[in-house]
Structures are given as C-alpha cells and as structure tokens.
Structure 1
Amino acid sequence: MLHTQKLQDLMQQVGISSFKGLSRAAGISERQILRLRQGKLEQMRVNVLLKLSPVLQMPLNELIATFSTVEFSQEKTAPTQELLREITNLRKEYDRSQFQLEQQREILLQELQQSSLQLLESLLLQWPTAAQKAQENPQLAAVKIVPLVQKPLDKLLQAWGVEAIAPVGAELPYDPQLHQLTKGTAQPGETVKVRYTGYLQGEKLLYRAEVSPV
C-alpha cells in the first residue's frame, strides 16, 4: 500500500512490531491504520491523529506532511494549513481539558480525604490516648477500647455504601461466590462458620468472607 513502508519504519523506531500492536498502543481501530497506509489521511478524524502522534513520537504537522497525499501547490496549501490550525486548536483544547480534569481529581481527592477524616474524627482524637493508657495498664479490658475503633469504622463504611457479608462467628450456608474456605472442604449449601468477615459495596464484591466447615 501507498504508505505501508513509511509506517512500518516509524513503528520500528518506537519498538512496535505489528499494526495490531500500534492499534492497541494508540487506542484506535485497525481500520484507521489501514486508511493511513492507503494514503487516506484526509479521511481520518483529527482525534485519531492526536492519538497516533505521541505513539509514533512524531509531531502532528510532520505526521500530516508524511502521510498526506495532498500536493502542497499554491492552490492546495490553504486547506492543509487550515487543517493544521484546527489540529493545533484541538491540541490546545485537549491539553486544557486534561489540566482541568487533573485539577478536578485533586479537588475530589481532597474532598474525599476531608469527609473521611470527619467520619474518623473521634478515632483520630481518642485512639492515641486509649493506646497510651493500654500500654500503661496491660490489664485494661479490650472491650473498653474496641468501640473507639468500631464506631468510626462503621460510620465510614456506611457513608461509602459498604456492608459486611456476615458477622464473625455467624453460621450460614456456604456460598462459594461470597465465601472463601480457610480450611477443609464444603459443598454449596452446607453450614460454615465465618472466621473473617467480607464486604460488599452495593452489588460489587470487595472481599469474600473467610469461612470454615462447622
């Protein structure tokens, strides 16, 4: 095809050995790559060229000049220059959008951290003192300290929509989709005992509960 060898030479320089590999690396279809090989760059979408440019390590204007079949005569320069201006503007818009997305991610992360810290406030404030008292008095009953951890944790899990599959010590029918055996064997429906609780977030399984046969 018209530009196949050019494209293969560029791919070799960046360590890509196949057109399928180029398709995966750039996140575009192999049909778009076929158009490039056939010299149909003018039929390709601008966003496809924007994805190919960094993968092939070639500036957009060079990519267009290399694979365009448009002759740069006096009469045909204007449309090509217009395309280049459009690509430049799109690139600027893309960079601006990426910057805005990064800022939004930072803001969301800060908000998540702030809300989590508020839910864990009592733990953050009281746990160091409780831990110190436990070191000073080894006879201090653990049951007095557990609520300091349990209550803030319960609030945090509730805020995030996370639910325990079953409490520790519960005996229930074995479900291999929700349970993981720590020892022995069990058939679905047979009674098992929960050793370590698991968690669901809505319908998504986060951790299977660890169980053992009764």
Structure 2
Amino acid sequence: MPQTDFTEKLQDLMQRVGISSFKALSHATGVSAHQILQLRRGKLEQMRVDVLLKLSSVLQLSLSELVATFSRVDAIEEKAATTQELLQEIADLKIEYQRSQLQQEQQRELLLQEFQQSSLQILESLLLQWPTAAYKAQENPQLAAIKIVPLVQKPLERILQTWGVEAIAPVGAEVPYNPQLHQLLEGTAQPGEIVKVRYTGYLQGDKLLYRAKVSPVREF
C-alpha cells in the first residue's frame, strides 16, 4: 500500500495561521517533530487525542475537521467495509438463531405429538370402554366393581411398563419397613419392622418417584 503524504495539506493550513516551518509548528503546539511527521504520513489514528487537540487549536480547526482532513480515504473505506461485514455477520447470526429456535420449537411439538399418540394407543381400551362401563355402573349400582377394575388396571400397567416405572410393593403387602421407600401414615416403626402397604409407591430405575404409604402391623 503506497504511503499517504499530507505534507502539502499541513503546509497550507500552517500558512493560513502564519507558521512557516514544521519546527515552528512543533514549538507553537508543544508537539514533537515525530508526531508532526506521523500526521504528515497519514497515521493520525496512531496519535493521542491530546496531541490532536493541540494541533487543531494552533491550526484553528475543530478536532473533527482535523480528523477529516488528515484521515486516509483507504483507511476510512477499510473501516467502513469492516463495519459492514460485522453488521452482516450479526444479521446472519440473528437469522441462524431464529431458525434454530424455530427448529427446536418444531422438534418439541413433534415429540409432544409422538408422546401423546403413543399414550393414546396404550390407553385406547380404557378410552373406548370406560365411558360405557361407568354408564352401566350408574344404571346398575349392584354391578360388581371387580368387573370394571381390569379396564383401568391393564392400560395403567402398560404405561408404567413402557416408561420403566415399577411399584415398590402391591397394596396389602406386608414388608420390612424402609424409611427411604416407605412413608408412615400413622404410628411409629423401626427399620426392618413389618408394615402393611396402604398406598403403593413407584420407582423409575434408580429414581424414587413416590414413597409407598404404610401402616405398622400390630401384633395382638
């Protein structure tokens, strides 16, 4: 890249304020000869602001006028191009982020639909038969409840099996008391003492979902 020379521009400005040499300019401004050389070579962006203020004051220019006069066009264009590239990158990133968000939302909707569909398939017999069974039970209060239980129990067992959920113990079972798996509904019990399961609890793998609710077994 050819070196930019602002010597003539500086000399014109110096003549307008009655300064005849660069040495005189250095003396009038208190700016070193090296800094004035930097200005002549178009390296204004490497100069300190306080130096530029001293020069602009003696040359009777505002700081913005001094910067505009001694800035290289190629440097301005380069900065403008860089800024434009950054703006374009930011715009592209925003578009990519919005696309990613949309894809994630669509994926969530798809997974939810698949989950609902698989659950409905498991519950199909309950959905189709339970309303009729409930209606018949209302019509005939003497209808044995044992006949209705399988309509609920089988779909529930299929769901639990599909999701890897296991009952801690069946209702009515008498088991050794384990405070980590059991919750006492009443009374007290020491670990290992026999208790009766009133409400079953559930495990999913190693994760405890619900503790089984139990009561002490009283010996008479």
Equivalent pairs, count:
143
Provide the residue aligned with 1:171 in structure 2. 174
Q: Supply the AA of the counterpart residue of 1:117.
A: L
Tell me, what secondary structure is at the counterpart of 1:151?
helix
Distance in structure 2 (CA, Å) of the matches to 1:110 and 1:95 = 22
2:191 pairs with 1:152: no
Of structures 1 and 2, the larger Rg is shown by 2
RMSD of the alignment, in Å?
1.6
Provide the residue aligned with 2:183 in structure 1. 180
Give % identity.
Answer: 80
- In structure 2, the gaps of 5 or more residues are 1-74
Q: Please identify runs of 4+ aligned residues in structure 1 that moved more than 4 A.
A: 72-75
Larger displacement relative to structure 2 (143-152 or 199-208): 199-208
User: 1:77, CA displacement in angstroms?
Assistant: 3.6
Provide the residue aligned with 2:3 in structure 1. none
Call closer, same or farther: CA 1:190–1:83 in 2, change over 3 Å.
farther
User: 1:80, CA displacement in angstroms?
Assistant: 3.5
Measured against aligned partners, the alpha-carbon deviations of 1:24-79 in whole angstroms (never above 9, x if no partner) come to xxxxxxxxxxxxxxxxxxxxxxxxxxxxxxxxxxxxxxxxxxxxxxxx95543433
Task: Indicate which of 98, 116, 119 corresponds to 1:116.
Answer: 119
Provide the residue aligned with 2:12 in structure 1. none
Distance in structure 2 (CA, Å) of the matches to 1:198 and 1:73 = 73
So what's the TM-score if we normalise by structure 1? 0.63
User: 1:164, CA displacement in angstroms?
Assistant: 0.7
Measured against aligned partners, the alpha-carbon deviations of 1:102-153 in whole angstroms (never above 9, x if no partner) come to 1111111111111111111111111111111111111111111101110111
Call closer, same or farther: CA 1:86–1:149 in 2, change over 3 Å.
same
Tell me, what secondary structure is at the counterpart of 2:209?
strand
Tell me, what secondary structure is at the counterpart of 2:179?
coil
Measured against aligned partners, the alpha-carbon deviations of 1:69-93 in whole angstroms (never above 9, x if no partner) come to xxx9554343343233222211211
Distance in structure 1 (CA, Å) of the matches to 2:207 and 2:101 = 29
> Within 5 Å, which residues of 2 pair with 1:1-214?
74-214=77-217
Distance in structure 1 (CA, Å) of the matches to 2:186 and 2:158 = 32
Distance in structure 2 (CA, Å) of the matches to 1:86 and 1:133 = 68
Call closer, same or farther: CA 1:81–1:175 in 2, change over 3 Å.
farther
Q: Supply the AA of the counterpart residue of 2:136.
A: K
Provide the residue aligned with 2:72 in structure 1. none
- In structure 1, the gaps of 5 or more residues are 1-71
So what's the TM-score if we normalise by structure 2? 0.61
